[in-house]
Amino acid sequence: MAGDLQLLSLDAEHPGIPLDAKATRRGDEHHEAVRYKDALSRFIAWAVIVETGIVAFRETFIENMIYILGYMTNSFSTIKFSGIVLLLGQRFRHLNEVAQRSKDSSMPVQKYLAVDFRVIHQLHNSLMNASESLSSQYSWPLLAWLISLCGHSVANLYFLIDWLVSTTESVNTRWSLVACIAWWVVVFASQLLLLHIACHYTSSEANNIGSILFDWKSFAVSRSYRIESSLHLINRRLNFSAAGCFHVNLPLLRSITALLTTYLVLLLQFQA
């Protein structure tokens, strides 16, 4: 796994791939700014959750932190996995752009040199190996995250709606509970959305390059190999599987949303 991840950098080891020092520096600065903003937003979100929890449930800071610590650990694991997957997706996207430009190298493109097909094929294979290894290692954790996030999301939404219409609690107590649960809903829903977007984005970018490379070689003037030898580029597809039960992507998120909405409506009807 570590050896494959070292191959994610498209650097000087492959001289055909153009590198712009200024663009690279701007990209690094942008990623650094994004990381700082992400860390700051997470800190603010958890600080608000801690404060609203203390007010709503009348707990001490230590009691609240003990309760929240497990959720924070799980949240950081989910975000870390999503970040690695998105990084792979960015590498696949860059490789797709390089392959597409090299395929269209007959057109006048300034300051760009076509990259050899074998280099792109090698990089694609390395990225696929790293992605498949990551998917295999996180297959069961991914299923556990999805079950946990879905369960907590629907449970918190149920209590949120219940407390919004409740008349048994005082106004101040009710709205403090609503604020606390609303923040929990935001945290769980954002993690669920992040997981699906990351997996869908990376899978789409990884599966696009196969058709680009196949078209490139199938329409080449010089064909020193059989077309069948490139069919594996299309047939080898990347999907992030949750313990082999289903593929994690945006269509799955739509199905989960519909299912959880139906279940939530049934719960509210029984409660009424």
* Whole-number Å distance between alpha carbons of 64 and 149: 20
| 247 φ/ψ angles, rounded to the nearest 5 degrees | -90, 140
Measured torsion, CA atoms of residues 133, 136, 140, 142, in degrees rounded to the nearest 10: 60
Contacts of 112-119 with CB under 8 Å at 24 or more apart are 112/18, 113/16, 113/18, 114/16, 115/14, 115/16, 115/17, 116/16, 117/213, 117/216, 117/217, 119/14, 119/16, 119/17
How far is the C-alpha of 3 from the C-alpha of 220, rounded, in Å? Answer: 33
CB 75 within 8 A of CB 230: no
Check if the beta carbon of residue 130 is closer than 8 Å to that of residue 88: yes
What are the φ and ψ backbone dihedral angles of 224, each rounded to 5 degrees? -100, 15
SS3 18: coil
Tell me what pLDDT residue 231 has: 66
pLDDT of res. 20: 45
Task: Give the pLDDT score at 115.
Answer: 66
Estimate to the nearest angstrom the gap between the alpha carbon of 228 and the chain centroid.
Answer: 33
Domain boundaries in the chain?
Answer: 8-271
Over its length of 272 residues, how does the chain's per-residue pLDDT go in tens digits? 444 444 444 443 444 444 444 444 555 555 566 566 666 766 777 677 776 766 666 777 777 777 778 788 888 899 899 999 999 999 999 988 888 877 666 454 445 555 677 788 888 889 999 999 999 999 999 999 999 999 999 988 988 888 787 656 565 666 777 888 888 898 899 999 999 999 999 999 998 887 777 776 665 545 544 555 556 667 788 999 999 899 999 999 999 999 999 988 888 887 65
What is 161-195 written as a DSSP string? HHHHH--SS-HHHHHHHHHHHHHHHHHHHHHHHHH
* The pLDDT value given to residue 6: 44
Paired residues of 241 in beta bridges = 247
What's the confidence (pLDDT) of residue 203? 94
Maximum distance among all Cα pairs of the chain, rounded to whole angstroms: 80
